Amino acid sequence: MAGSKRKLSPRQKMINLMYVVLMAMLALNVSSDVLNGFSLVDEGLNRSKENTITQNKNIYNALDDAMKQNPEKTKDSYEKARQVRLLSDSLYNFAEELKWKIVRKADGEDGNIHDIRGKENLEAATHVMLAPGVGQGRKLRNAIDSYRERILKMVNDESQKKIIANNLSTEVPKKGKLLGKNWQEYMFENTPVAAAVTLLTKLQNDVRHAEGEILHQLVANIDIKDVRVNEINAYVIPNAQTVVRGGRFSAQIIMAAVDTTSRPDIYIGNTLLKSGNGRYETVCNSIGDFVLKGYMVMRNGNGEEIRREFSQPYTVVEPAATVSATMMNMLYAGYQNPISVSVPGIPINKVNATMSGGSLTKKENGSYIAVPSKVGEDVTITVTAENEGRQQEMGKFSFHVRKLPDPTPYISFSDDKGVTNRYKGGRPISRSVLLSSRGISAAIDDGLLDIQFRVVGFETTFFNGMGDVIPEISKSADFTDRQRDMFRRLQRGKRFYISRVHAIGPDGIERTLPTSMEVIVN
C-alpha cells in the first residue's frame, strides 16, 4: 500500500462549489422554489458521503484482516483506526440527530429528512440550534472544534492537514463578525430547514472525508515503516561449524530478505565496514574465544533510521595434526616429561587432562608436565573438554614408562671468551684448563634433552713410567688433591682415564656409568 497524497476528487470540488453558491442564494433570501435546489445538493452530498463510507469500511476490513495475520506489525495503526472511528461516528451521529430534530420541529413527529415538507420553515432550525437553554448550536460547535483538533494531530501531510482544517472550520466569516454573530447564529439563525439539513449533511460528508484521509495514512504507514526488499533467500546459521563426536549440531534456519539497491551501513565496533556486499574478513593471529560485535543502520520507506545490533561469537584454534609413532609412545619415570594436549575445534582453555600412575601438572597453552611414578608400569592420560556446557571425554592415551638412559660424563670449563664448554674426552685439553675445573659432571645431552645427573663418585686411572696402573678414587663430583697433583706431573701428550662414574638422575636411581672418558693432556 503506497503512502501517496490524496487530492480532492472533481466530484468533491463540485459539491463544495454548489455549497458556496447555495449559501449565497440563501443570503439573498430567495423564494421557496429555489429552496428545492437544496434538496438536490443534499442528495449529491449524501451520495458522496455514502461512497466515502463504503471506502472507509473497506479500509477498516483490510485493517481487521491485517490485524489477524500480523498483529505485532498492525497493532499501532489498528488502535489508532479504532479511535478515529469512535470520534468520527460520534460527531456524524450527532449531526444526524440534529437533522431529524429540525425536520420534525418543522413537519411534526412524522417528519422525514428524506422527504421534507416545510423546507422554507425559518423557525425550526433557529429553535433547535439557538433556543435559550436547550439550543444545540454551541454543543455542535464545541464537538466540531474538538474533533478537528484531535484528528489534525494524526495527520502528517501539511497540505492535507490544511484541507481538513478548512472543511471543519468554525471560524465566523468577516460578514458575520460585523453583524456580531457567533458561528452557530451565523449558520442557523433564520435558516430554512432545507438549508440547515444540507449544512449538516455537508458536515457529515466532511467528517467522513477526514476519517478516510486518516485511514489511508494509517494503512500506508504499516508499509512505510517496513524496509523494502527485492531478494529473499534461505539461510542456515550454525552455532559452530566444527562439532566433536558426541556433541550436538544446532543451527538457526531463517528466511532473510535484502534490498540489493540500498545496502545498510555496517559498523564493526564504531568503524564503518567499507565492503560493498556486507562481507567482513579478518586475519586471526591469536587463538581463543572472540566476539564479532557491531550494528547496522538503514532507513525505511518513511525515512526513519533503523539501527540493529549484532553479536557473533567465534573461536580460533591452532592448526592441529596428530602424528603417532608406535615405538615412541613412552615417558621417563621420575622425570618431568613435557607434553602438549589439544583437541581440534575446541579452545585450549576448555581442554583438560589427567594421568594415572603419576602426576600431571597443567602449565599454559596446552602444555603439561607428566611425572610417572614407576618404571615398567604404563600410564594413561585421559583428555576431556567442555562441549556445549558439559564435560566430554575426548580420548585416552597410554604411554610406556622407562628408566632414563645413562648420561655421559664430562668436564665443564670456560674458554677465553667466557663461554661454558663440555669436555667429553678423546681430544687434547690443556693442563691449565684441567686444573681450573672443579670436577666431573654428567648429563643426557643428545641435542634435544639436557637432563643433569648428580655425580657422587668416580675413579681416575694413571700409568707411571714402568707402565704400572695408579688408580685414584673420588667420593664426590670434585677432583681430589691427589688427583690434581697427578695432573701436574703429566707430561704433554700423556693421558689418563676417568671411569666408574657413579651418578643419580632425576628419577632418584643411582647408576654406575659403563663408559670411561679418555683425557689427553696438552
Predicted confidence (pLDDT) per residue in 128-152, tens digit: 999 999 999 999 999 999 999 999 9
Task: State the pLDDT at residue 4.
Answer: 43
Give the rounded distance of the alpha carbon of 290 from its chain centre: 14
Q: Which three cell numbers stand for residue 392?
A: 566430554
Q: If we measure between CA atoms, which residue out of 411, 410, 397 comes closest to residue 353?
A: 397
The rounded distance, in Å, linking the Cα atoms of 368 and 358 is 13
Q: HSE on the CB side for 396, CA within 13 Å?
A: 6
Q: Which three cell numbers stand for residue 118?
A: 416545510
Q: How does DSSP classify residue 265?
A: E
The rounded distance, in Å, linking the Cα atoms of 26 and 197 is 13
Task: State the pLDDT at residue 330.
Answer: 86
430: left (phi over 0), alpha (psi -120 to 50) or beta: beta
Q: With contact defined as beta carbons under 8 Å apart, do 74 and 63 qualify? A: yes
The rounded distance, in Å, linking the Cα atoms of 267 and 272 is 4
Q: If we measure between CA atoms, which residue out of 289, 10, 55, 6 comes closest to residue 156?
A: 6
10-residue mean pLDDT profile of the chain (522 residues): values are 52 63 54 62 82 92 87 88 94 95 94 91 93 93 95 88 91 79 91 92 93 89 64 67 63 71 83 80 79 84 77 71 59 88 83 93 90 90 85 89 92 88 92 92 84 96 88 96 93 93 92 94 90
The rounded distance, in Å, linking the Cα atoms of 264 and 130 is 62
Q: HSE on the CB side for 175, CA within 13 Å?
A: 5
3-state secondary structure 57-119: HHHHHHHHHHHHHCHHHHHHHHHHHHHHHHHHHHHHHHHHHHHHHHHHHHHCCCCECCECCCC
Task: State the pLDDT at residue 1.
Answer: 44
The residue to which cell 425559518 is assigned: 122
Q: With contact defined as beta carbons under 8 Å apart, do 434 and 521 qualify? A: yes
Cα Dmax for the chain: 170
CB count in 10 Å sphere of residue 155: 18
Task: Dump pLDDT digits (tens) for 230-261.
Answer: 666 676 676 666 665 666 667 677 777 767 76
Q: If we measure between CA atoms, which residue out of 380, 390, 392, 399 comes closest to residue 343?
A: 392
Task: State the pLDDT at residue 507.
Answer: 84
The rounded distance, in Å, linking the Cα atoms of 41 and 195 is 9
Q: Give Cβ neighbours of residue 330 (< 8 Å, ≥ 6 apart).
A: 399, 400, 401, 402
pTM: 0.48
Measured CA to CA in angstroms, residue 93 lies from 53, 129, 328, 503 at distances of 13, 16, 99, 115
Element (H, E) at 268: strand 265-268
The rounded distance, in Å, linking the Cα atoms of 84 and 130 is 29
Q: What are phi and psi of 35, to 5 degrees?
A: -60, -20
Task: State the pLDDT at residue 111.
Answer: 94
Task: State the pLDDT at residue 285.
Answer: 78
Q: Coil, strand or helix: which one is 373?
A: coil
Task: State the pLDDT at residue 3.
Answer: 42
Cα Rg of the chain, angstroms: 53
The residue to which cell 442564494 is assigned: 25
Which spans in 172-236 are helix H?
174-178, 183-188, 193-224
Q: Where do the domains of the chain lie, and which CATH numbers do they carry?
A: 10-224 (no CATH), 231-316 (no CATH), 326-402 (2.60.40), 408-521 (no CATH)
